[in-house]
Structure 1
Amino acid sequence: MNGRLSRFPTLCVFSGCFVVVAAWYFGVHQRWAIVEDLRHELEAQQAVLEQEGIDDASVQRVNAMLEHMGEEAAFYQQCWRSAYDSAALYEELDVLAAGAGVQLVRIEPSKSGMQLHRKDANVNVEGFIIEVQGPYADVAEFIGRVHESTGLTRFKSLRVYPSSTGADSGGIVVATMQTEHVAVSDVFTLGEDSQ
C-alpha cells in the first residue's frame, strides 16, 4: 500500500495541472480568442471607414441633415395642422395680415374645398377669397407669408391694382386673391400617434 500512497501526491499534482490547463483552454483561451476576433473585426471596420473617408465631421454633417429634415417635417406638420381647421386658418390669415401691415378687407370661403381620406393620409383643401389693402411692399410680404405659413398653398388667382384710379393712389394697392390651402395629416407619424 505504500506504493499507492506515494503515487497519490503525483496523481493529485498531475490532475490539478490538467484541471488548470483545461480551465485555461476552455475558459480563458476561448474568451481570449473571441476578444481577438472582435479586435480584428473592429480594426477591419476602421480601415474600411478610413478608406471611404468617413470621419467625425461627415457623421456630424449627416446628423445635422437628419435634424434639419426633422425640423422641416415638424414645420410642415404644424402648417398642415393649422390648414386643416377653417377657424384656425381664418385666424392665421388675420395674424399674417396684421404682421405684414396690411388691412384685411375681405375674407370668405370659396367653393374649391374638398376632403380626401386615404389609408396612409388624409387630405383637406380649404379655399378662400382674400382681399387686402396696403402699400405694395406690405401686400407682397403678406402674399409671401400666406404662401409659406399656411400649409401647401396654391394661388388660383391673384390680382393687384391701385386702390384708386388716377395718380392719387399714394402707392396703396389692393390685392384680391383666391387661394387653396392643402392640409395633409398622418404623413409624418413615424413613431408617433396620428394627430
Structure 2
Amino acid sequence: MAFEDAPDTPAHGRVLREVATHLGPRRMDEFQTWARKTHFWCELLAQIAAALARYEEMRGRIFRAVEAALLQKRYEEPLPSELLRAGVVESAVGWAWRHVLASIVAASGGGSLAALLAGGDVQRLLWPVRVIAVLMCPDAANHRAVREHCWDPIVRHAKADVRDVVRDRLTQTFPKDPWFV
C-alpha cells in the first residue's frame, strides 16, 4: 500500500497517476518512454535518499546549534557540573523537539511532525513556539533571547491580523506589564 491508494487500483501507482493527470496521456507516454531510457525514477529515488541524508545531517546540526546556544549562555547561576555531565541539555533539546513540536502540530490539526517537516512548512511551528516562549517566560521584557527571537518577530513580522490578535491576547494576559502595552 506504500505506492498505491488501494490494492485493487489499476496498473499505475499513485505518483504515476498524478503525473499523468498533470501531463495528459500523450505527454505522459512520451515522458515514460524517456524516463525508462534515462533511469529517471531510480534517479529520483536516489536523489530523495541523498536529500533525506542531508536533512538528517542538518537536523543533527540544528540540535547541536540549540544545545550550543544553551550551553554558551551565561546564566546567573551556572548549570551544575553533574547535570552537565549527565547530558541534561541534550536530553531536554531532544525531548522538547519530539514532544513540544509534535504537540503543536497535533493541536493545529496538521497531521504529524514528520509530515510537516517533510513538507517544509516550519512557519506552522515557528509562530506557536514564539508565542509559547513569550507566555511562559516570567520576565519576557528582560529576557534577551525571548525578546529577540520571539516577541520582536511577533510584533514586527506577523501579518497584521495575526500580530494584532497575539498582541491583544498578550495584553489581556499581562495587563500590568508595560512591555505588552
Larger Rg: 1
TM-score (normalizing by structure 2): 0.28
> Greater relative contact order (Cα 8 A, min sep 6): structure 1 or 2?
1
TM-score (normalizing by structure 1): 0.26
